[in-house]
Amino acid sequence: MKNNRRNFLKLTGLAGLTVTGGSILQGFAAEPANKPDLPDIGTPHKQRFNMCGYSAPKLETVRVGFIGLGQRGPGHVRNMTKMEGVEIKGLCDIRPESVQKVSKRLEGTNHHPTLYSGGKEEWKKLCDNKEIDVVFIATPWDIHVPMALYAMEKGKHVFIEVPAAVTVKECWQLVEASERTRKHCMMLENCCYDFFELLTLNMARQGYFGEIVHAEGAYIHSLLDLNFKKDGYADMWRLKDNMTRNGSLYPTHGLGPVCQVMDVNRGDKLDYLVSMSSKDFSMADKAKELAEKDEFYKPFVKDTYRGNMNTTTIRTNKGRTIMIQHDVSSPNVYSRIHKVSGTKGSALKYPLPGRIANSEKESWLTEEQVKVLEQKYQPAIVKKIGELAKEVGGHGGMDFLMDWRIIDCLRNGLPLDQDVYDAALWSVIAPLSEQSIANRSASVDIPDFTSGSWKTNKPHDILLEKGGTTKVIL
């Protein structure tokens, strides 16, 4: 039992996080209630089947169902109507008006989905539908995992909006279920498909930057008003998260692309992190201000909101470092900070446009020199589908590029660019950052969701060395 307890503490990152007289999270929720049980994680996870590089059987026609039609779901639905070999078979949202709105957009197309709405468990009926192969989940974060687990058990591949999970326990649940069912479980990290990120990934693969030393990413986006907007997020779920959790709650946009540059889970692994947040300078004041005018906001009046700026630093097994920042409540200029720093060169975006430097120059390359590099290092996926993706749109085209790539991989029986280990690893940074902050920024170990296979896993094929046969229909 002592060994089991020690292993549990190591896996969850709780080792040494003791605070006298109460919870280590000092008033912030560590584990949301009503989560599905996970098989014993008191012992190290034994990999059932390696999902890295896994090729599922080809699906000539990909039959898709969508759960959640609020902020993100409708965009995925639209993207699927622009591709051959796709049938939209199901639409689900607890709000009937959301389902009807998206369904109306499909009138006159070849898509005739079954509609599910009005009840809290209608999503299960969609997952039970044997005519659906793939489920997209774009719901509030705390119900991502219950839906994903149920869908995989019903034989569906699962694609989950970011973050895929909100607790350490949930991350392990996704890994265990994907390995056992041999169903894809991919997080929809669209920033991995942005054009500068793809360019720097190819440059890193070709050795332009030399050995990667350091990388940075961020999600700095002024969302204060949206978080308090009554019809911004269903049941104010995102504001409630900011009330009860203090950490880097949305790390994956910045982390995903730099992990791919560093071949994390495929030659390197994240070892441990340290996280620090500022105090809250705006959210509690905003709640008090609104509550004075509107009774609706009185339940949101609270002193302990998440701090404005979070900075989390990570060290990898190979000794490289990553900095991730998160701030959605200050009036900052939008930035996702994509920085790659190596022994021979570096790249940086934001501000725009992205800039590149190398060891032969004392300053950044000129725009003309960068254009020459773009022509040399532009990956095949951008050459093939980039302009069409920009025409369709969705965060400048990266949303469509991601959705097209998913469908093309499924139709060609190819491994996905992101697997369940990436979904778990990139998502787990949030709860681990909470644990670090709760103990005065103590270092916290990061679980190895690959169970050691990171040492032999091969880099993903996001650059389109294979596939690319799915036609776009505009």
Write down the pLDDT at residue 256.
98
The answer to whether 58 touches 379, Cβ cutoff 8 Å, is no
Nearest to 58 by CA among 466, 474, 409, 333: 409
The answer to whether 300 touches 288, Cβ cutoff 8 Å, is no
Write down the pLDDT at residue 460.
81
Residues of the chain with pLDDT under 50: 1-43
Q: In sequence order, what E strands does 338-416 have? A: 338-342, 345-349, 355-358
Q: What is the pLDDT of residues 344-391, one digit of tens each?
A: 999 999 989 999 999 887 789 999 999 999 999 999 999 999 999 999
Nearest to 213 by CA among 94, 91, 344, 313: 344
Q: Can you name the residues that pair with 115 across neighbouring β-strands?
A: 91
The answer to whether 168 touches 424, Cβ cutoff 8 Å, is no
Q: What is the pLDDT of residues 202-241, one digit of tens each?
A: 999 999 999 999 999 999 999 999 999 999 898 999 999 9
Write down the pLDDT at residue 39.
36
All structural domains of the chain: 62-188 (3.40.50.720), 191-379+421-455 (3.30.360.10)
Write down the pLDDT at residue 213.
98
Write down the pLDDT at residue 14.
38
